[in-house]
């Protein structure tokens, strides 16, 4: 598709609208505005046109504004309030010195389309200019009520420090890589960390490129407020009934809820089982001469489920060597004595919690630094100042339904 054909035939440029569904109401709450060009063979995406580095920015701006003007005019036919997502590359946004985009948005205010219904979806991953220039411009758009979204987070998360400084209203996470359950746990952990970032900076999460039920469940489980993708509804020239998928999404989310509740119940049962078993073992071995002797006894009792054990005090200093299970059996690792683990996330919080509740805690899943395996740790108080940590075998956890 030749760029000149597009520029000389702007009457054949028109918008497509991809619905965005809300997690709380299970209905269409927004539309992303996408560009299309009508050919003899049918409409084609204008994505390659806007991504072509050889096409001057002023030509892209001209075509972009033509698409948006038709989209805003069509939006007048909608009943109810919707958000409208507008894609803008950071470089292109800064090139708009005459503020054509802002003037167009404000010109439709009298027709009922308010600036606070506009979400400026910025792709800044390839931006090479001064960060302060971009930040200043974004804050300027904000003064009119326009919301800011940062795009393509799942594809490139190398600029998380800049993202947090921009303080976007929405983080748009791309699930393209997460097409199936074959995606590695490390990638899923990275996406989970983005949900934590969003919570910290007060941004909503929008998961895009949802093409499977598994991806939708992942978006739901990781705090997605908005969902978008072909699994839900592809882009179209017309708006859709906002309640189009309400019953289907409600039913799917109910299935997610039941599955998650079952997993949590299994985790609670495992934690209770461990508390009961460990209290019995500790009571039976109260007369152990020292922590090394205690760990030797526990290693025999827990051989089928644990691969590492140690004792720490309330400040995180290790008061026993590690007992670590190797192929030939359990071995002592004295080099871990006096190491301090208080720097680990939630360590001190869990110590206080165990002391107050006088019971153990089962950790979430994480990758063990030394073995690389995905594990959980069970920790419980020995007395008011000393705590036992037991790292559980991934093979044992895999056999517990719902834990992995």
Looking at the structure, tell me whether residues 44 and 168 fall in a common domain.
yes
Looking at the structure, tell me whether residues 212 and 356 fall in a common domain.
no
Window from 124-128, 257-261, 298-302, 370-374 with minimum mean pLDDT: 124-128
> In sequence order, which residues have a C-beta less than 8 Å from that of residue 185 and are 6 or more positions away?
367, 374
Residue 403 pLDDT:
54
Looking at the structure, tell me whether residues 213 and 269 fall in a common domain.
no
Q: How far apart are the first and last CA of the chain?
A: 48
Residue 124 pLDDT:
65
Condensed to tens digits (0 to 9), the pLDDT of residues 2-27 reads 888 898 899 999 999 999 999 999 99
Instruction: Give the model's confidence band at 357: pLDDT under 50 very low, under 70 low, under 90 confident, else very high.
Output: very high
Instruction: Give the model's confidence band at 397: pLDDT under 50 very low, under 70 low, under 90 confident, else very high.
Output: confident
Task: Provide the phi-psi class of 316: left if phi over 0, else alpha when psi is between -120 and 50, else beta.
Answer: left
Residue 368 pLDDT:
87
Question: Could you give the CA distance from residue 105 to residue 123 in angstroms, rounded to a whole number?
Answer: 19
- Asked, for residue 246, whether it belongs to a domain, the answer is no
- Asked, for residue 385, whether it belongs to a domain, the answer is yes
According to DSSP H, which parts of 185-233 are helical?
185-201, 213-221
Burial 35-61 (b: 16+ CB within 10 A, else e): bbbeeeeeeeebeebbeeeebeeeebb
Mean pLDDT to the nearest integer, 134-140: 92
- Asked, for residue 255, whether it belongs to a domain, the answer is no
- Number of domains present in the structure of the chain: 2
Cβ neighbour number for residue 31 with a 10 Å cutoff = 24
Residue 143 pLDDT:
96
Looking at the structure, tell me whether residues 214 and 304 fall in a common domain.
no
- Asked, for residue 143, whether it belongs to a domain, the answer is yes
Residue 180 pLDDT:
54
Condensed to tens digits (0 to 9), the pLDDT of residues 59-86 reads 999 999 999 999 999 999 898 899 999 9
Instruction: Give the model's confidence band at 107: pLDDT under 50 very low, under 70 low, under 90 confident, else very high.
Output: very high
- State the pairing for strand pair 204-208/224-227: parallel
Closest CA to 67 of 104, 106, 28, 103: 104
Window from 176-185, 217-226, 286-295, 324-333 with minimum mean pLDDT: 176-185
Last residue of a domain, one of 187, 211, 229: 229
Looking at the structure, tell me whether residues 49 and 156 fall in a common domain.
yes
- Asked, for residue 253, whether it belongs to a domain, the answer is no
Looking at the structure, tell me whether residues 37 and 162 fall in a common domain.
yes
Per-residue pLDDT at 227 exceeds 70: yes
Mean pLDDT to the nearest integer, 135-158: 82
Looking at the structure, tell me whether residues 83 and 140 fall in a common domain.
yes
Per-residue pLDDT at 125 exceeds 90: no
Token output for 139: 């804050």
Q: Which CATH number is 145's domain given?
A: 3.20.20.450
Eight-class DSSP state of 187: H
- Asked, for residue 235, whether it belongs to a domain, the answer is no
Looking at the structure, tell me whether residues 30 and 76 fall in a common domain.
yes
Q: Which CATH number is 379's domain given?
A: 3.30.450.20
Looking at the structure, tell me whether residues 155 and 282 fall in a common domain.
no
Per-residue pLDDT at 128 exceeds 70: no
- Asked, for residue 254, whether it belongs to a domain, the answer is no
Per-residue pLDDT at 245 exceeds 90: yes
Token output for 110: 């009298």
Mean pLDDT to the nearest integer, 274-278: 92
Residue 395 pLDDT:
85
More confident residue, 190 or 118: 118
Per-residue pLDDT at 129 exceeds 60: yes
Tell me the whole-structure pTM to 2 decimals.
0.87
Last residue of a domain, one of 184, 214, 229: 229
Looking at the structure, tell me whether residues 176 and 48 fall in a common domain.
yes
Looking at the structure, tell me whether residues 33 and 113 fall in a common domain.
yes
8 A C-beta contact, residue 45 and residue 35: yes
Please give the angle made by the CA atoms of 192, 194 and 195, to the nearest 5 degrees. Answer: 65
Share of the chain above pLDDT 90, in %: 62
Instruction: Give the model's confidence band at 44: pLDDT under 50 very low, under 70 low, under 90 confident, else very high.
Output: very high
Average pLDDT along the chain: 89
- Asked, for residue 245, whether it belongs to a domain, the answer is no
Instruction: Give the model's confidence band at 346: pLDDT under 50 very low, under 70 low, under 90 confident, else very high.
Output: confident
Residue 366 pLDDT:
84
Condensed to tens digits (0 to 9), the pLDDT of residues 294-345 reads 999 999 999 999 999 999 999 999 999 999 999 889 999 999 999 999 998 8
Closest CA to 141 of 161, 112, 167, 163: 167
Residues β-bridged to residue 326: 329
Instruction: Give the model's confidence band at 117: pLDDT under 50 very low, under 70 low, under 90 confident, else very high.
Output: very high
According to DSSP H, which parts of 81-208 are helical?
90-95, 100-107, 131-142, 160-166, 185-201
Residue 33 pLDDT:
98
Residue 181 pLDDT:
52
Share of the chain above pLDDT 70, in %: 93
Looking at the structure, tell me whether residues 225 and 264 fall in a common domain.
no
Residue 386 pLDDT:
94
Per-residue pLDDT at 192 exceeds 70: yes
Domain that holds residue 314: 260-398
Mean pLDDT to the nearest integer, 244-264: 95
Mean pLDDT to the nearest integer, 244-261: 96
């Amino acid at each position: 598709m030749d760029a000149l054909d597009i520029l000389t035939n702007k009457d054949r440029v028109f918008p497509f609208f991809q619905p965005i569904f809300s997690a709380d109401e299970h209905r269409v709450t927004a539309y992303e505005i996408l560009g299309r060009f009508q050919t003899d063979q049918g409409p084609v995406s204008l994505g390659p046109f806007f991504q072509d580095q050889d096409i001057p920015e002023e030509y892209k701006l001209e075509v972009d504004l033509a698409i948006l003007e038709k989209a805003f005019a069509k939006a007048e036919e909608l009943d109810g309030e919707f958000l409208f997502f507008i894609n803008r590359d950071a470089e292109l946004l800064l090139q708009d010195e005459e503020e054509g985009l802002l003037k167009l948005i404000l010109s439709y205010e009298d027709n009922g389309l308010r600036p606070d219904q506009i979400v400026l979806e910025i792709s800044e991953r390839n931006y090479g200019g001064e960060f302060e220039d971009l930040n200043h411009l974004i804050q300027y758009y904000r003064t009119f009520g326009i919301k800011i979204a940062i795009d393509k987070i799942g594809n490139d998360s190398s600029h998380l420090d800049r993202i947090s400084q921009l303080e976007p209203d929405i983080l748009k996470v791309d699930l393209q890589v997460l097409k199936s359950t074959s995606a590695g746990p490390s990638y899923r952990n990275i996406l989970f960390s983005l949900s934590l970032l969003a919570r910290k900076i007060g941004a909503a999460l929008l998961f895009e490129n949802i093409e499977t039920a598994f991806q939708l469940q992942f978006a739901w489980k990781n705090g997605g407020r908005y969902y978008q993708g072909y699994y839900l509804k592809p882009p179209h020239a017309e708006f859709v009934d906002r309640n189009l998928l309400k019953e289907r999404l409600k039913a799917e989310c109910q299935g997610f809820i039941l599955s998650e509740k079952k997993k949590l119940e299994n985790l609670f049962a495992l934690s209770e089982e461990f508390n009961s078993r460990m209290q019995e073992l500790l009571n039976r071995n109260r007369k152990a001469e020292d922590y090394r002797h205690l760990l030797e006894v526990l290693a025999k009792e827990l051989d089928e489920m644990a691969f590492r054990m140690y004792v720490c005090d309330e400040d995180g200093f290790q008061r026993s060597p590690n007992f670590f299970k190797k192929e030939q059996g359990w071995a002592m690792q004295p080099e871990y004595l006096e190491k301090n683990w208080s720097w680990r996330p939630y360590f001190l919080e869990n110590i206080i919690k165990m002391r107050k509740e006088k019971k153990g805690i089962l950790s979430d899943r994480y990758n063990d630094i030394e073995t690389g395996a995905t594990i959980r740790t069970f920790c419980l108080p020995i007395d008011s100042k000393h705590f036992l940590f037991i790292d559980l075998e991934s093979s044992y956890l895999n056999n517990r339904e719902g834990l992995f």
